[in-house]
Chain A
Amino acid sequence: MTGGTPLVAQAPKGPDSLAAAPVSRPRRSFGRIWWWAVFAVAVLYFALPLIGTFAFSMRSQPLFSAYAVVTDDPQFAATLLYSFVVAIVTIIVSIVLIVPTAFWVRLRLPRLRPYIEFITLLPFVIPPIILVFGLLRSYSGDPLPLAGSDFGSDVLLVAAYVVLSLPYMYRAVDTGLRAIDVRSLTEASQSLGASWFTILVRVIFPNLRVSILSGAFLTLAIVVGEFTIATFLARPAFGPYIQLLGGNKAYEPAAVSLISFGLTWIAMGLLALIGRQSRQKIQIAGAH
């Protein structure tokens, strides 16, 4: 940051052509200061609440006792496991629904793309509370009284989460499709005798792997922390559990927040790792 000053002093020595470079240098170093300042503000913005939460969770004596209480609570593991299972089912259902749809829209119905995009954005506009009340009203009675049973409610929960994850999953997949020449690859596969199923499984899915993964992890993050829909469908999910804990205990909710935050980070790290691995695999395979 301090390197800029002596460079400015050199400026008058050089001829015109050289003078241009030193003039631009202080600007660049100012740019660098600015960059670091923005970075520092961002770090503080994101880190301070975490540090505060951590400090608060440490007030319970002895140290880390809040974490011990949480991890010892069978409810914690049960609800977290439930939410992860629901998230994984949601991810599978949305992949099965969205990848072929996005593929088909791109290949055969490009004129429908703006409409499909609009539909996928609806979950941003319609609050989850509306969605869950709609589901409860529609599926409480005949002909499909799903809300009456636990399994039926699980189905409704997954269905609602698939809708919630639409914007993320569709966009991720659509961006991935844009990066490959869908039409030529499809036609090349067809001319080689491949069926639609083979094309999707052997050609489209593998080339969308990283996009699908990023959509999947966003879905995971949303589903694991979701509160409204799970509460109104009365499912034993992680979101309602945190809320319940927050109503009854002081330090433990902070601990739970940090643990779930850490788990989300692990999920994101996993994504980055898998993404990098697939690239490395290609390069290593090509090296010999």
Chain B
Amino acid sequence: MTFLILTGIHKRFGPTVAVEDFNLTAEKGEFVSFLGPSGCGKTTTLRMIAGFEQPTAGTISIGGTDITNRPPNRRNIGMVFQSYALFPNMNVADNIGFGMKVRKRPKDQIRKRVDELLGLMHLPDKGGRYPYQLSGGQQQRVALARALAVEPEVLLLDEPLSALDAKIRVALRKEIRAIQRQFGITTVYVTHDQEEALSLSDRVVVMSEGRIEQIGAPADIYNFPATPFVASFVGTLSLLQANVIEGATARLSIDGQEIRGARPAAGDGQRVTVALRPEAVEQGDGGGSNRLRGTVEDVSFLGSIVRTRVRISGRNTLSFDQFNDPSLAASTIGEEIAVSFSPESTLVLEGRASADAVIEEAIAEV
């Protein structure tokens, strides 16, 4: 059942376009993430759902009701902020009960609900504490409980884990997902952390410069990026410049070495970008029918994996990952090696005009 619908949303701040033609439908109970770099419009879109910003054009509806012009306090939305935004003058229990108190619920009902949520957040004895007496992770749990206490129709989370340290971030991330499933609440989660978006979401909306680049399940976003931006932003990618030898059979040439792509490519002789995930490439011939030769340029030890960068020729480099195996000797810099990968994992990208800049950047990073 379609529950949250954003149709043709535009937002301008003076001459600046913050969000352009944003369309999204989310099912009831779905977990959708907005992923993108800062300034891509993800938070602005979230704030429009919350009612803190008014769209310049477009409509937002929840459960079949148009709420575009409703003030935020009449939308029945739960919101969790990056800065926690707990009321410093109230203790934990009063913070959680605030929304119910505003709705004039009976006192014993508020107390029962607060106790229930405190238990759920593993903070059963912290009701009398004040926000400043809690750790960041605990404060964010209280903020989540406070948002859930009013039984909102939609839960909005604006980079809720950004201010926390890595371990707590991962633990709390799992908890957020578990609680969201338990409540079956439609959730929109804003983040610039791709790992968070991919691990949490039913669907990910990748945004750049106010526009949606791609909407899809995490695996689709990762495996089949629709635009060069998505390819470069999500995961690590090697991007190589190639020429199309024969588009219909997806025959491509990378600096004179021939490979095949997964799908038919654009016209013959055109320049395209080939994207490869480090995990899709193997040293030697075992990786698939596409083979390239090059010189080892760098070997990075990343713990469980070893990432090797190979220069194919002039501008083109690609990276590949191997599981760290102490019995195997790593490649040495300057060594000539062959790598292989399957045509299925060879993504051929044909993007907008600005894609070149993105590719340049990504090449510089890999």
Instruction: Check if A282 sits within 8 Å of B98, measured CB to CB.
Output: no
State the CA gap A172–B88 with chains docked (Å): 19
A10 within 8 A of partner (CB)? no
Minimum Cβ distance to chain B for residue A154 (Å): 35
Minimum Cβ distance to chain A for residue B245 (Å): 56
A192 within 8 A of partner (CB)? yes
Q: Report B61-119 residues with CB < 8 Å from chain A CB.
A: 71-79, 81, 83, 85-89, 91, 98-99, 102-103
- Contact segment of B126-134, B180-188, B271-279, B320-328: B126-134
Q: Report B36-73 residues with CB < 8 Å from chain A CB.
A: 50-52, 71-73
- Inside 8 A of A209's CB, which chain B residues have their CB? 89
- Inside 8 A of A203's CB, which chain B residues have their CB? 87, 89
B310 within 8 A of partner (CB)? no
Instruction: Check if B99 sits within 8 Å of A190, measured CB to CB.
Output: no
- Inside 8 A of B129's CB, which chain A residues have their CB? 286
Minimum Cβ distance to chain B for residue A184 (Å): 4
Instruction: Check if A193 sits within 8 Å of B102, measured CB to CB.
Output: yes
Instruction: Check if A187 sits within 8 Å of B102, measured CB to CB.
Output: no
The answer, among A184, A193, A285, A288, for a CB contact under 8 Å with B85, is A184
B147 within 8 A of partner (CB)? yes
Minimum Cβ distance to chain A for residue B61 (Å): 18
A250 within 8 A of partner (CB)? no
Instruction: Check if B87 sits within 8 Å of A191, measured CB to CB.
Output: no
Which of chain B's residues has its CB closest to A199's CB?
B73
A188 within 8 A of partner (CB)? yes
- Inside 8 A of A277's CB, which chain B residues have their CB? none
Flag A183-201 by CB within 8 Å of B: 1 or 0 each.
0110111111111001000
- Inside 8 A of B102's CB, which chain A residues have their CB? 189, 192-194, 198
State the CA gap A211–B102 with chains docked (Å): 25
Which of chain B's residues has its CB closest to A187's CB?
B52
Instruction: Check if B73 sits within 8 Å of A194, measured CB to CB.
Output: yes
Minimum Cβ distance to chain B for residue A205 (Å): 9
B146 within 8 A of partner (CB)? yes
State the CA gap A216–B98 with chains docked (Å): 28
Instruction: Check if B103 sits within 8 Å of A188, measured CB to CB.
Output: no
State the CA gap A195–B74 with chains docked (Å): 9
State the CA gap A188–B102 with chains docked (Å): 13
Instruction: Check if A184 sits within 8 Å of B81, measured CB to CB.
Output: yes
Which of chain B's residues has its CB closest to A184's CB?
B85
Instruction: Check if A191 sits within 8 Å of B91, measured CB to CB.
Output: no
The answer, among A181, A194, A206, A285, for a CB contact under 8 Å with B91, is A285
Minimum Cβ distance to chain A for residue B100 (Å): 9
Minimum Cβ distance to chain B for residue A243 (Å): 43
Instruction: Check if A181 sits within 8 Å of B85, measured CB to CB.
Output: yes
A270 within 8 A of partner (CB)? no
B252 within 8 A of partner (CB)? no
A180 within 8 A of partner (CB)? yes
Instruction: Check if B130 sits within 8 Å of A184, measured CB to CB.
Output: no
B207 within 8 A of partner (CB)? no
Instruction: Check if A206 sits within 8 Å of B72, measured CB to CB.
Output: no
Interface centre among A189, A209, A286 (most CB of B within 10 A): A286
Instruction: Check if B89 sits within 8 Å of A207, measured CB to CB.
Output: yes
State the CA gap A191–B103 with chains docked (Å): 12
For this complex, 24 residue pairs linking A to B, each with C-beta atoms less than 8 Å apart, are: A181-B83, A181-B85, A184-B81, A185-B85, A187-B79, A188-B79, A188-B85, A188-B86, A188-B143, A189-B87, A190-B71, A190-B73, A191-B50, A191-B78, A191-B156, A192-B102, A192-B150, A193-B150, A194-B73, A207-B87, A286-B91, A286-B130, A286-B133, A288-B128
Residues of B within 8 A of A (CB): 50-52, 71-79, 81, 83, 85-89, 91, 98-99, 102-103, 128-130, 133, 143, 146-147, 150, 156
> A192-B146, A286-B133 known; 5 other A-B pairs, CB under 8 Å?
A184-B81, A187-B50, A193-B102, A202-B98, A209-B89
